[in-house]
Chains A and B, each alone.
Chain A
Amino acid sequence: MAETATPAETAKRANPETLRAARRSPASHLAPTFESGSVAGTVTLKEIPFQTMVGIRVERDSDAGARLASVTDGLPAACGEVSGSGRATTLWLGPEEFLVIAPESAHDSLGGDLIRALVEALGDDPGQVVDLSANRTTFELSGIRARDVLEKGCSLDLHPRAFRAGTALATEIGNIPAMLLKTGEESFRIFPRASFADFLGRWLLDGMREFASPEVP
């Protein structure tokens, strides 16, 4: 077939820079809108594209769980918990299910070794290590009004006394399922599936719009 890649093309594609240039993130078409819709000092929205994400399913207390935890710097024990350090952040998805999030450069196709290290840590034991980098994108919503924007579409208690920085929950935002990670007092990262990125991006922009106008006394 004409579409079949020749070895030369495959080699060209495997080059990290060529690969990077060819990628298009799920909300890349919204980047200018995110920029114009952001209100400096009040609430800003941007996409952090192409983060490395790896799904892990393993019994946390097993030997394989311990080996995986040594790669990720711990596996969270309960709902809401986040573990990890500089290399990767690990979110709790379920009692035996975790999501590892790392910078783009950690991906094996770009010279990193995170996925290989995790696959090796699991070995032949029961469980899963799956590259989910293309499954979700990352939105960063921050500013003093970030919580107000989220509260328009999320029924979790987002008050700081209940939802602390360093906590992540799987929930619904704007009626679509998404992971919500609170990274700081006024900053959140939202992980929607790629196919929902356009919808959620526009939903958040709509929620941000009122803060661009002067407050009505």
Chain B
Amino acid sequence: MLLISCPNCGPRDETEFHYGGQAHVAYPENPDALTDRQWAEYLFYRDNTKGAFAERWVHSTGCRQWFNMLRDTVSYDIQAIYKMGEPRPDMERAVVNTTAATTPEGATK
């Protein structure tokens, strides 16, 4: 069981939260201009990071607010919790994956 520190409510059991997938996937500036492949990549393609991964969570049985989390997908170590809209914190251990996580595949291909 993970103990997750909600920015509003403090530490709570993982069962009070729901996972919201990869964070910082920007909505395409001009969706009309995308090919079907690019649109599909925006909708469905996500990083499969081994290590620090920025993801969204919602405190469903508490304050019902969304927030971002930087979590190590190998050790489950929660490295940072930060607000929606804030950029991914520049953690030393996380540097390797920063580019991959902030650039959605669909936006660049």
Interface residues of A (CB under 8 A from B): 78-79, 93-95, 97, 155-156, 169-172, 175, 177
**Min C-beta distance of A19 to chain B, whole Å:** 32
Across the interface, do A79 and B61 meet the contact criterion of CB distance under 8 Å? no
Given contacts A78-B8, A155-B13, A172-B61, 17 further A-B contacts (CB under 8 A): A79-B8, A79-B9, A94-B63, A94-B65, A156-B12, A169-B62, A170-B9, A170-B61, A170-B63, A171-B16, A171-B61, A171-B62, A172-B13, A172-B15, A172-B16, A175-B15, A177-B60
**Min C-beta distance of A200 to chain B, whole Å:** 14
**Min C-beta distance of A128 to chain B, whole Å:** 14
**Min C-beta distance of B2 to chain A, whole Å:** 12
Binary contact track B29-51/A, C-beta < 8 Å → 1, others 0: 00000000000000000000000
Choose one: A78, A155, A170, A175; the contact of B62 (CB below 8 Å).
Answer: A170
**Min C-beta distance of B98 to chain A, whole Å:** 29
Across the interface, do A93 and B63 meet the contact criterion of CB distance under 8 Å? yes
Chain B residues with CB under 8 Å of A79's CB are 8-10, 62-63
Chain B residues with CB under 8 Å of A97's CB are 63-64
Interface residues of B (CB under 8 A from A): 8-10, 12-13, 15-16, 60-65
Interface of A is mostly: strand
**Min C-beta distance of A25 to chain B, whole Å:** 23
Interface of B is mostly: loop
**Min C-beta distance of A84 to chain B, whole Å:** 19
Q: Which residue of A lies closest to B13 (CB)?
A: A155
Closest 5 CB pairs of A and B: A94-B63, A177-B61, A79-B9, A155-B13, A170-B62
Choose one: B13, B16, B61, B63; the contact of A95 (CB below 8 Å).
Answer: B63
A79-B10, A171-B12 known; A94+B61 contact, CB < 8 A: no
Chain B residues with CB under 8 Å of A78's CB are 8
Q: Which residue of B lies closest to A157 (CB)?
A: B11
> With the chains together, A175 CA to B16 CA distance in Å?
9
Chain B residues with CB under 8 Å of A95's CB are 8, 63, 65
Q: Which residue of B lies closest to A154 (CB)?
A: B13
**Min C-beta distance of B57 to chain A, whole Å:** 15
Choose one: B8, B12, B13, B15; the contact of A94 (CB below 8 Å).
Answer: B8
Chain A residues with CB under 8 Å of B13's CB are 155, 172
Q: Which residue of A lies closest to B61 (CB)?
A: A177
Chain B residues with CB under 8 Å of A94's CB are 8, 63-65
Chain A residues with CB under 8 Å of B63's CB are 79, 93-95, 97, 170
> With the chains together, A93 CA to B60 CA distance in Å?
11
Chain A residues with CB under 8 Å of B61's CB are 170-172, 177
Q: Which residue of A lies closest to B64 (CB)?
A: A94
> With the chains together, A49 CA to B64 CA distance in Å?
26
**Min C-beta distance of A154 to chain B, whole Å:** 10
23 pairs, A vs B, C-beta closer than 8 Å: A78-B8, A79-B9, A79-B10, A79-B62, A93-B63, A93-B64, A94-B8, A94-B63, A94-B64, A95-B8, A95-B63, A95-B65, A97-B63, A97-B64, A155-B13, A169-B9, A170-B9, A170-B62, A170-B63, A171-B12, A171-B62, A175-B15, A177-B60
